[in-house]
Chains A and B, each alone.
Chain A
Amino acid sequence: MNDTTRLSRFEAAHVIAQRDFRAILFSRAFLFFLLGPLFPIIIGVLAGGIGGQVQRDANTRLVAVAMSEADTQALIAARARLAPQIGRALPELAVADAGTAPEVILREPGKNYVAVVGGTLAAPELTAPQPAIDYWNGPVAMLAAEAGTRQVAAYPAVAPRPVATSIAAQRGDRIRTAQAGQLLLFLLMMLLAGMVLSNLVEEKANKVIEVLAAAVPMDAVFLGKLVAMLGVSLVGIAVWAAVGSAIALLAGNALPQLPAPALGWPLFLALGLVYFAMGYLLLGSLFLTIGGLATTVREVQTLSMPVTMAQLLVFFLAASSITRPGSPMELFAATFPLSSPFAMLARAAQSDALWPHALALGWQALCVLLFVRFGAQIFRRRVMKSGKGGRAVKGHVGSVRAR
């Protein structure tokens, strides 16, 4: 057919995308999208602060000494002598009543002892849960030996020769970068997928979808919506990048620095953007399909819940495979379409090989095409399933539901 009687798929998708892009960009939803990343940051800071406090409260190093007074004083003196050289490897010591059973001392309310040292310096006894015994056994024995001999052991001076990094340190650092990249990707995608879904539900509520379906192929509608949302998200990312850069400039070195990824920052960021686009297109098409299957907002919520949970699992899969590059699990995470962008971004942080990214992007692009195609087909089959609730007129005009 010639071009005068129809729009091409891309022209049709462009019309849809143009409308959606403008509508979303000037909507409250976009404002929330822009503010979206603030919420996890605020929650993270609060949770980190509270968690740190809880951790500090929970992790005590206080060991009660329930020995004779002489032994107790000798032990405390030994600790004071060793502390400058051993430091935090030694427990804090507190004096307890030697006449009280160690089990009772451990249960004393408000004391928070991690273990009780009893017996004598020659034969000390350590009462505590097994993990605490394993942990404090050595330090307590060292203290008892020091206290018993009353001699300061001669420790050689260690000359410090600091280096910038080591393989182990570098690997650990890059894992941090990979984790940060994955988390950012995940948050962005979840925010966007939710917006795609609400956009589609709104469309169904406005009853515009039939007009669209009649005029252009459904996969063009599908594609247009996805592209519009991607465009909106890129605007959002640009805003965040600008704000982030401004903050970084103002804060200077006060901000914590992420270690440089294996591929270097420019390539890592570029790949991050591409993986974000791929991940979003994959998840967005899945959510659009769900939107097509559902007829009410409640149905959408019900249907999207398992997908959201599955997406969390996929994220955890990719996140847990960060530390095991090349393992079957990591390869699976890199191959499975929905986890592939996360896993590959982690790779970009840890490995400087480029070819796996070319391979993964090709595979992800193919999956995007398949997802969009498949989603559009389901959408088309389900979304126009019936008329305006035509009633069944059984008996006289047959059993008919749709009009």
Chain B
Amino acid sequence: MTRPSGGDNRKLAIEAHGLVKRFDDTLAVDGVDIAVPEGAIYGILGPNGAGKTTTLRMLLGIIDPDAGVRRVFGNDRPHEVAKLIGYLPEERGLYPAMKCDEAIAFLGALRGLPLEEGKARGRVLLEQHGLGHAVDRQIRQLSKGMAQTVQLLGTLVHRPKLVVFDEPFSGLDAINQGKLEVMIRELAHSGTTVIFSTHVIHHAERLCDEVAIIAGGKVPYAGSVDAARDRIPAQVRLETRSASGPWRSALPGDARHDAKGEASHFWYFPVPETGIEELLKPLIEGQAGILSLSIERAGLHDAFVEIAGEAAARALEEDNARGAKP
């Protein structure tokens, strides 16, 4: 496993080594290693069926691993630190007959927050998130999005140090996805560690300091997003007016060519070891007609393809195409 960036002396909110989980004859998780630094936003990225939920459930002590160890704030029994954790499962669920503030207070009470205090905090949170009018409404009277927000607030009401979200963006519209991204950043800003699973790469890319890429129950990569992207060499993207000329010999032989009409030709190739400056002189002197020249870093998607393989990436894209619903 690739070691997380930042050295080994960081305090870890979660660490797991060699987690294995088998359900009957199906190996769901096969030797997962994860290290989540305190205060980080950490993404677990993989297609549906990769083992994300099972991994999270093991990390939280909902199920026990068949092999391996996991520690949450240094404790190998996650329930012992339950008050420090907030968890939003993928399958959202609240008691339909409960009122909004009661539901939030109940979720807080499960984590040790006194009911009355939970209710009071719940009312404030509902007000802050535009649901002040729904305080006394029963969950069954809410829209799906509103109920999700109530559960999210219930996850945070006891002010946990570690928040675990399983597919938090699924089922949310674009506006609420944006709000959730802001909330996640705010949580991290306040020192809370945030872990979330997702099969949507751009959420992980925009939010995460570090990611674990999971596929087939294994974690082929865990570390910083930057380090993942750096595994693929940066690409030069050159646009010329001319399609050929003596300047062509300056480009690598395997440069990819893509013509956009007669007067616009794109060339893609890795950044030369000698740097880009050596390239400019023959291009200018050879009258290539440079229209644009840029160096492009690989995205997390490219890194995912590189690390997890084409098939896993395709599965991920299919999940996204299905509307982010497993």
- A residues lining the B interface (CB < 8 Å): 1, 4-7, 11-12, 15, 19, 23, 27, 206-217, 380-381, 384-393, 395-403
Contact = CB atoms under 8 A, between A and B. Distances in A.
A11 B215 CA distance: 39
Contacts, number: 169
B107 interface: yes
Contacts of A398: 27, 30, 215-218
A6 B83 CA distance: 5
A206 B79 contact: no
A403 B89 contact: no
A34 B82 CA distance: 38
Interface string B103-114: 000110111100
Q: Is the interface of B mostly helix, strand, loop or mixed?
A: mixed
B50 A403 contact: yes
A380 B47 contact: no
Contacts of B107: 211, 215
A216 B79 contact: yes
B49 A391 contact: yes
A5 B82 contact: yes
A384 B28 contact: no
B42 interface: no
Contacts of B63: 380-381, 384
Q: Would you list the 4 A-B pairs with minimal beta carbon distance, nearest first? A: A396-B311, A207-B93, A398-B216, A387-B53
Given A4-B83, A6-B80, A399-B26, 12 more contacts: A6-B112, A210-B93, A211-B107, A215-B87, A387-B326, A393-B315, A397-B216, A397-B308, A400-B26, A403-B51, A403-B53, A403-B54
Interface stretch (B2-10, B94-102, B204-212, B266-274): B94-102
Contacts of B308: 397
Contacts of A211: 87, 89, 93, 107, 110
Nearest to A15: B109
Q: Is the interface of A mostly helix, strand, loop or mixed?
A: loop
Contacts of A216: 79, 82, 110
B27 A400 contact: yes
A307 to B, nearest CB: 24
Given A209-B93, A384-B62, A5 B106 contact: no
A403 B52 contact: yes
A390 B326 contact: yes
A385 B52 CA distance: 13
Interface residues of B, number: 58
B21 A393 contact: no
Contacts of A6: 79-83, 112
B95 A19 contact: yes
Nearest to B72: A5
B248 interface: no
B216 A393 contact: yes
A388 B315 contact: no
A401 B85 CA distance: 27
Given A217-B79, A391-B48, A206 B54 contact: no
B84 interface: yes
A401 B91 contact: no
B309 interface: yes
26 contacts: A1-B81, A5-B73, A6-B80, A7-B110, A7-B112, A210-B91, A210-B93, A211-B107, A212-B110, A214-B87, A214-B89, A215-B110, A215-B111, A216-B79, A388-B326, A393-B48, A393-B49, A393-B311, A395-B311, A396-B311, A398-B27, A398-B216, A400-B50, A402-B28, A402-B49, A403-B50
B189 interface: no
A15 B53 CA distance: 26
A402 B53 contact: yes
Given A215-B110, A384-B57, A393-B47, A403 B326 contact: yes
A12 B91 CA distance: 22
A11 B79 CA distance: 13
B92 interface: yes
B75 interface: yes
A69 B32 CA distance: 104
A282 to B, nearest CB: 26
A208 B47 contact: no
B95 A23 contact: yes
A209 B95 CA distance: 10
A402 B54 contact: yes
A400 B217 contact: yes
B60 interface: yes
Nearest to A399: B26
Nearest to B25: A399
Nearest to A400: B49
A390 B87 CA distance: 20
B84 to A, nearest CB: 6
A5 B95 CA distance: 25
B312 interface: yes
Given A384-B62, A387-B326, A401 B23 contact: yes
B75 A1 contact: yes
Given A23-B95, A386-B23, A5 B216 contact: no
B317 interface: no
A7 B107 CA distance: 13
B302 interface: no
A123 B47 CA distance: 99
Interface in B3-36: 21, 23, 26-28, 30
B49 A390 contact: yes
B212 to A, nearest CB: 14
Given A387-B90, A403-B51, A5 B27 contact: no
A215 B108 CA distance: 10
A401 B61 CA distance: 20
Given A1-B81, A216-B82, A400 B51 contact: yes
B261 to A, nearest CB: 38
Contacts of B106: 15, 19
Interface in B271-326: 308-312, 314-315, 326
A269 to B, nearest CB: 35
